[in-house]
Amino acid sequence: MAGSIEKRGKNSYRLTVSEGFDLNGRPMIHRKTIHGTKKEAEVELAKFVTEVQNGLVIDGKSLKFSEFVEIWKRDYGSKELAPTTYKRYCRMLETRILPYFGHFYINKIRPTDIMKFYDLLEKDTQLVRKKDNNGSKTKKPLSGKTFLEHHRLLRAMLHRAVYWQLIVSNPAERVQPPRAKKPKRRSYDDEQTKILLENLEKLTVEDTKYKVAIILTIFTGVRLGELMGLEWQDVDFRNGIISINRSSQYLSDMGVFTKVPKTESSIREIAIPEFIISLLEELSYGMKSKNRYMANYGRILIGYLYKLMANLCILLLLANGLLNM
């Protein structure tokens, strides 16, 4: 790999390293200016050549946004983000962001380009299921929340480009983010919860795991990921305490994966009533008859159980006329 030094002024040298040609036949040339002696410039040039050879130097002037996305996925997204978040971001990139920005050189993206992109999003639609739940779908405008998610992703990615010194400033910081209305939170009222608990008592022994999952959620307020991450070693049967140390989720293309909670405050202990301890003991006893190791050290539930659990709640409430779909 060739490198050269050009004197630019008093104690100023420009280093140039040629990396050959890109897929479009354009020369890939990297430059930077340093200040010092000729000997120091020679040392810096050797370092510069090594950095280019190892793929540590990227020139934003010749980098398209689509190429930057691949670098972001490889060096940041796939390593730092939770799999569910990464998968959602990739879907947003492929469906809307890349079709618009993919051909832009990353250093040429302006705030006005982002504003035009948002104008197009306002005219965009998405397929959603009708409320009658008959399986058919209809088109509706993107929600304010979806708008905001696209803005946050684009802003975060361009912030990463600034951090990697591919661009000088983040154009998304100069664009007013779309306003999103806070969705009305839906939750079961006291009557629905009462009916749900009464119906849980009708479940068979084989369905104890669903009963445990739903009751733990109602009486502890744990997140679904935290519920799925519970292991038997997290249960203190004697003192009636469960410890939240991890979170698990299920993706169809990845299976079950586990991560530590985002914040230290999410790692906590929760006191549980005696009747829940009894339910857990019942579930543990049933598991021991099948697999003693799993009943002592394995997961209490499985990663995709929450989908079945949610469906069961809906069916029980629908059966009692307490939920409108």
Q: Encode pLDDT of 238-273 as tens digits.
A: 999 999 988 877 666 666 677 777 677 888 999 999
pLDDT one digit per residue (tens) for the chain, 325 residues: 678 999 988 889 999 988 887 656 778 888 888 889 999 999 999 988 887 777 666 555 568 999 999 999 999 999 888 888 899 999 999 999 999 999 998 888 999 999 999 888 887 766 444 454 555 566 677 777 888 899 999 999 999 998 887 887 899 999 987 776 666 777 778 888 888 788 878 777 777 777 888 888 888 888 878 888 888 888 899 999 999 988 877 666 666 677 777 677 888 999 999 988 988 888 887 766 555 444 444 666 654 455 556 656 655 555 555 545 4
Separation CA 324–CA 200 (nearest Å) = 20
Cβ–Cβ < 8 Å for 20, 6: no
Please name the residues in contact with 77: beta carbons below 8 A apart, sequence gap of 6 or more: 86, 89, 90
Please name the residues in contact with 200: beta carbons below 8 A apart, sequence gap of 6 or more: 210, 211, 214, 215, 316
Strands annotated E in the chain: 3-9, 12-21, 27-35, 125-129, 137-141, 235-236, 241-244, 247-251, 255-259, 268-271
Query: Computed over its alpha carbons, how large is the radius of gyration of the chain?
Result: 28
Among 20, 19, 15, 18, residue whose Cα is nearest residue 45: 15
Please name the residues in contact with 193: beta carbons below 8 A apart, sequence gap of 6 or more: 218
Separation CA 266–CA 252 (nearest Å) = 26
Residue with tokens 């598991």, as numbered in its chain: 287
Q: Where are the alpha helices (DSSP H) in 126-207?
A: 144-163, 190-200
Going across the sheet that includes 235-236, the strands are 235-236, 241-244, 268-271
Instruction: For residue 310, give Cα distances in angstroms to 207, 213, 214, 223.
Output: 14, 10, 8, 13
Give me the pLDDT at residue 103, please: 93
Separation CA 195–CA 193 (nearest Å) = 6
Helix (H, G, I), strand (E, B) or coil at 31: strand
Separation CA 32–CA 189 (nearest Å) = 64
Q: What is the separation of C-alpha 82 from the centre of its chain, rounded to a whole number of angstroms? A: 5
Residue 293, burial from CB neighbour count under 10 angstroms (0-12, 13-18, 19+): exposed
Cβ–Cβ < 8 Å for 50, 19: no
Give me the pLDDT at residue 68, please: 93
